[in-house]
Chain A
């Protein structure tokens, strides 16, 4: 069964900290992995997409890595800001649809 797990479910950090969000999955035969951001009561915004053949992608202060052999992806956020507060979801494409994790709710405090 193809499952996606995100731990922790919630995380609170002070402004300026570097942090890592985790995503683990059970089947390494993926096409790609995406990280999304969801603000309260809003839709999802795609942050980064990593193809199966890639190891990482970077966009500004965000860096996402992919290790298929261990079934893990991480989203690294550098120098966190209060505006980064949101829920971050990873989603895997196993060739038929996106399967989402339940997300990590991040709060960056002043």
Chain B
């Protein structure tokens, strides 16, 4: 019954080696989000897709990119991971955008990224 699936759950990469994290959803939601959460910190929104419309947060580094090839899948690409990019990466979905009223976000289990 998993609704938001993230693969892999744990990812180890080398400094500077590109890495891709995957998220899929069975809810048929319009919006998909990527958050970065470092230890003992609040989740921080990196970007989101409303359908195919990409919305980047102003302070998201250029090193982070995203792709949404279809409604169900969304990918987070880190072009050149640095040690400071080690974190939990959370994917979430919602039926509509925030501010629209009753939009609960549904989160996946997260992918923990370790950069060596």
One digit per residue, 1 when the CB lies within 8 angstroms of any chain B CB and 0 when it does not, for chain A 39-70 equals: 00111111001010000000000000000000
The size of the chain B interface, using a CB distance under 8 A, is 27
Contact across chains for B109 and A43 when beta carbons are under 8 A apart: yes
Most buried by B among A36, A43, A46: A43
Main secondary structure of the interface of A (DSSP, over half): strand
Within 8 A of A (CB), among B52-109: 57, 88, 90, 92, 98-109
Measured between beta carbons, the chain B residues less than 8 angstroms from A36 are 107
Q: A31-B99, A42-B110 in contact; A89/B104 too (CB < 8 A)?
A: no
Query: Smallest distance from the beta carbon of A28 to chain B beta carbons, Å?
Result: 15
One digit per residue, 1 when the CB lies within 8 angstroms of any chain A CB and 0 when it does not, for chain B 3-14 equals: 010100000000
Contact across chains for A98 and B105 when beta carbons are under 8 A apart: yes
Name B41's closest neighbour in chain A (CB-CB). A102
Q: How many A-B residue pairs have CB under 8 A?
A: 63
Main secondary structure of the interface of B (DSSP, over half): loop
Contact across chains for B104 and A98 when beta carbons are under 8 A apart: no
Contact across chains for A98 and B102 when beta carbons are under 8 A apart: no
Contact across chains for A43 and B107 when beta carbons are under 8 A apart: yes
Select which of A44, A51, A95 is within 8 A of B90 by beta carbon: A44
Residues on A lying within 8 angstroms of B by beta carbon are 4, 31-32, 34, 36, 41-46, 49, 51, 89, 93-103
User: Can you list 11 A-B pairs with a CB-CB distance of less than 8 A?
Assistant: A32-B103, A34-B104, A41-B112, A44-B92, A46-B105, A89-B42, A93-B99, A95-B98, A98-B105, A100-B44, A101-B42
